[in-house]
Amino acid sequence: MFHIYCPHCEDHREEEEFHASGEAHIPRPLDPQSCSDEEWGEYLYFRKNPRGLHHELWVHAVGCRKFFNITRDTVTYEIKEVYKVGEKPSVTSSEKNQ
């Protein structure tokens, strides 16, 4: 059971108030029609699923209904930071992201 700081409510809340919405920072291609099938498939289905630091999109579903990002260690489940949509993470993996 995570204890998650909601950057909009500015308060720690229990995990049951939130839903995870998968990997963060997967922008919708600006011109979908110019994407090849492979590019569109990458956008739709392919995710990093790393061991270690992971940037995730969560929503405070039973609360303010706002989406925000979490940087979480998938091994220890530590939440390293939360940040609003549109912001960049300050904690990043030393490995190069593809």
Partner 1 sequence: MSDSTASNVESIAQMDQLPHKTGSLQPRAESPLYHADLATLSAHSADAGGVEIKEVKLLGHLVLRGSIEDAEFLSGVKEVLGLDLPGPLQSSLQGEFIAYWVSPNEWLVLVPGQQAFQLERDMRSAMSGNFAIVNVSGGQTVICLSGANAVDVLKKSTPYDVHNKNFPVGKVVTSVFAKTQALIFRSGPESWELIVRRSFSDYVWLWLQDACIEYGLVIKD
Partner 2 sequence: MTQKNRIQSGGRVDRARALSFKFNGKSYQGLQGDTVASALLANGVNVVARSFKYSRPRGIISAGAEEPNAVLQMGATEATQVPNVRATQQELFDGLVCNSTNGWPNVDFDVMGIAAKVGGSMLTPGFYYKTFMYPQSMWSTYEKFIRKAAGLGRSPRENDPDSYDHIHQHADVVVVGAGPAGLSAALSAARSGARVIIADEQSEFGGSLLHSRENINGEPAADWVQKAIAELATFPDVMMLPRSTVNGYHDHNFLTIHQRCADHLSDKAPQGQIRQRLHRVRAKWVVLATGAHERPLVFANNDVPGCMLASAVSTYINRYGVVPGKNLVLMTTNDHAYQTALDWADAGRKVVAIVDTRPNPEGDLVEDAKRRGLHIITGSAVIEAHGGKRVNAVSVASINENGESVTGKISRLQCDTLASSGGWSPVVHLSCHTASRPAWNDEAVGFVPGATIQNQLTAGGINASYGLGDCLKEGTAAGNEAAMNAGYDVSATAPELKVEAISEGAPMALFHVPHSRPTSRAPKQFVDFQNDVTAAGIELATREGFESIEHVKRYTAMGFGTDQGKLGNINGMAIAAKSMNKTIPETGTTVYRPNYTPVSFGAIAGRHCKELFDPKRFSAMHKWHSENGALFEDVGQWKRPWYYPKPGESMQDTLDRECKSTRESVGILDASTLGKIDIQGKDAREFLGRVYTNPWAKLAVGKCRYGLMCGEDGMVFDDGVTSCLAENHFLMTTTTGGAAHVLEWLEIYHQTEWPELEVFFNTVTDHWSTMTISGPNSRKLLSEICDDIDLDKDTFRFMDLREGTVADVPARVYRISFTGELSYEINVQANYGLYVWEKLFEHGAKYNLTPYGTETMHVLRAEKGFIIAGQDTDGSLHPYDLGMGWCVSVKKPFSFIGKRGMAREDCVKPNRKQLVGLKTKDPLTVIPEGSQAVLDPTQPIPMTMLGHVTSSYYSANLGHSIAMGLVRGGLDRMGEAVFYPQPDGSVIEAEICSPVFLDPEGERQNV
Residues found near partner 1 in the complex (CB under 8 A): 8-11, 13-14, 16-17, 62-66
Partner whose footprint covers residue 91, from partner 2, partner 1, none (CB < 5 to 8 Å by kind): none
Nearer to partner 2, 12 or 48 (CB): 12
The contacts of residue 22 (CB under 8 Å, 6+ apart) are: 47, 56, 57
Find the binder of partner 2 among 51, 65, 88, 96 (CB under 8 A): 65
Which segments of the chain does DSSP mark as H helices, in order?
Answer: 37-45
Nearer to partner 2, 27 or 96 (CB): 27
Nearer to partner 2, 3 or 96 (CB): 3
**88 binds partner 2, rule: CB under 8 A:** no
7: enclosing H helix or E strand: none
- Nearest distance in Å: CB 13, partner 2: 10
**31 binds partner 2, rule: CB under 8 A:** yes
Closest by CA to 64, choosing from 6, 2, 15, is: 6
Percent helix, strand and coil across the chain, each rounded to 5?
15, 35, 50
